[in-house]
Structure formats: C-alpha cells, structure tokens
Amino acid sequence: MDFKRIETILVLTFLALNIFLLSTYFDKNYNDFYQNSSNSELNFVDEMNKSNIKLPVFQNEKNKVPYTQAETNELLAENHNQLSNQTGVIEENGSIYSSILSNPIVLSEDKNLTSKDIEKLNDFVKSDQVLFGSEYQFFRYFKSNQQIVYVQIANNIPITDGTSEIVFHLDSNKKVISYEQNYAGPVTVQGDSRELITDKNAVDILYQNNEISADTTVKKPILSYYRTLNLEELSMYAPVWYVEVVSSTDTQVKRVDAISGSILKSSMLDMPHSDEKDKASGKESAELRSRSDSSS
C-alpha cells in the first residue's frame, strides 16, 4: 500500500473539513450578529416611538468628507470701510463686524419667515452691502430671538458652530435693522475624505446617551462643519451632525462627530445665541445707534 499517498489524502481531507467547519462557524456568527444588530435597530425605533419621540426621515447613507482649514485673517477689518448705507464697527480683535442699517429691510407681515422674505435677504447678502456674502447661505430663523442666521458654506457644507455667520436682528415690525458678521476666511480641504457615520447613527448615539428626552421632536440632522482646533495662524474644521431636538419649552442643539461618533459638548457658539451674546450685541447696537444719531 502507498502509505504516503494515504497520509496526504487524510491530511487534505482534515484540512478541507476544518476549513468547512470554520467557514460555517463564522457564517453563523455573522448572521447572528447581523440579526441582533437589525433587531437592536428595530428596538431602538420602537423605544423612541413608545417615548413619543418624533423622528425625521433619515437619509441613512454613508458619506465621505474631508477636514477643512481656514487661515486666521482680518479681512472684515480690512474691507468694512467700503460698505455704504450702514454704520458699522469692528471689534478689537477684528473678528466681528457689527452694523446698523441706514435703510432697514422690510419683510412681509406674515408672522413666519416666508420664501419671499428669504429671497429679499438673499439679494441683500449677495449685494455689495455685505462682505463676502456670496459665501453665505440662509440657515435658520429663530423666531423667539427675532434673529435670522446665514452661515458660510465650505466644501458645499455649512459651518454651523457660530464662527462664520451673519446674524440679522429684527424689530417688532419684522424689519431687519442690524446685523453682526464673522468670517472664517477662505477655506481649503485638508487630507483625504473620511467615511462618516449616517444621520440615523448620530440620532441613535444621542438616544443611547440620554441626550434625547421623551415627548420631543428630532429635526432632520444636518451635515456641517465644526471648529475643532483654533490656533493663532489657522483653524481646523471637522464634519459633524447638527441635530435640533425640539421640546414644548425650547430647542436644544446637539452635535455628533461624524467620524468618531463622539458627542460634542455645547459651547457659547451654539445657536440660538446665548443671553450673554445677545446682551453684548445689544450693547454694541446701542453704541452704533448713538454714533449714527450724532453723525446725522
């Protein structure tokens, strides 16, 4: 008998059997994991529904987005003198331009912000009355604060952390009487695009960490940029999911890092603006009105 041949056949048979058993084992584990993940996801939705949490329609697609960078600049300070029909000042550090309009922008009498109101403001922002206005887009209307916010768009994504925005202030007659602007500057892409978690993943993470209470409404998450590094010469912006959670008493802004899935803590840059920032804006506006009155 050819024992060597028999030995080889036995070894190959055992190897094939082991490969088959390992493959069966891993397939079973994968299927169990997939089923458990799907069940957990369904249970999540069920739990939120039972807690009367209203959810948006999710895109639930994985995107790839890079980091972006903006160099520190004084472009507002260098260019604001060319603006007309307004009285404006630059803060000492040159980061914010505050303006009182000579001719307030009259919006519609509707209590809410209409599409025609936005069109009128878009025309103003894109005109020579606003610096770098072509880089900003309408973002939110905060009715309780009588504020309309435009944000800078970088890499086709809005910067929603308050570091590059135009905040318009309305009076009781729904006229735009003043605004503040800050500007991150020209933004460049840094590095390769990175795969992001989905908008639904972001809401799941918030719910798991008790950031979403019962009887609330979750607005559709917005993919945006958030400043994660602020150095003397430059700032770095990372992609985050901006999520508004609306309750019967207020609206809270939640942010989830779109790459790591970590929850970002609130800061003074959150919108709607804090009372401290509103007080500061009010003080600046009073000073501007005083200068405007004395010059007229």
Beta bridge partners of 169: 147, 178
Confidence (pLDDT) at 61: 87
Under CATH, which architecture does the 54-67+187-264 domain have? Beta Barrel (2.40)
74-183+274-295: CATH, from 3.10.310.40, 1.10.3720.10, 3.30.310.160, 1.10.10.10 = 3.30.310.160
Q: How confident is residue 23, by pLDDT bands cut at 50, 70 and 90?
A: very low
Q: How many whole angstroms separate alpha carbon 199 and alpha carbon 60? A: 6
pTM of the complete model: 0.77
Tell me the average pLDDT of the chain.
83
Query: Would you list the domain boundaries of the chain?
Result: 1-50, 54-67+187-264, 74-183+274-295
Confidence (pLDDT) at 274: 39
* 143-188 pLDDT per residue, tens: 888 999 999 999 999 999 999 999 999 999 999 999 999 999 999 9
Confidence (pLDDT) at 95: 86
List the one residue out of 53, 42, 17 whose CA is nearest residue 213.
Answer: 53
How many C-beta atoms surround the C-beta of residue 57 within 10 A?
7
Whether residue 197 has pLDDT greater than 70: yes
Q: Work out the burial of residue 43: count CB atoms within 10 Å of its CB; fewer than 13 is exposed, 13-18 middle, 19 or more buried.
A: exposed
* 229-256 pLDDT per residue, tens: 999 899 999 999 999 999 999 999 999 9
Residues 6+ apart with CB under 8 A from 188: 68, 69, 70
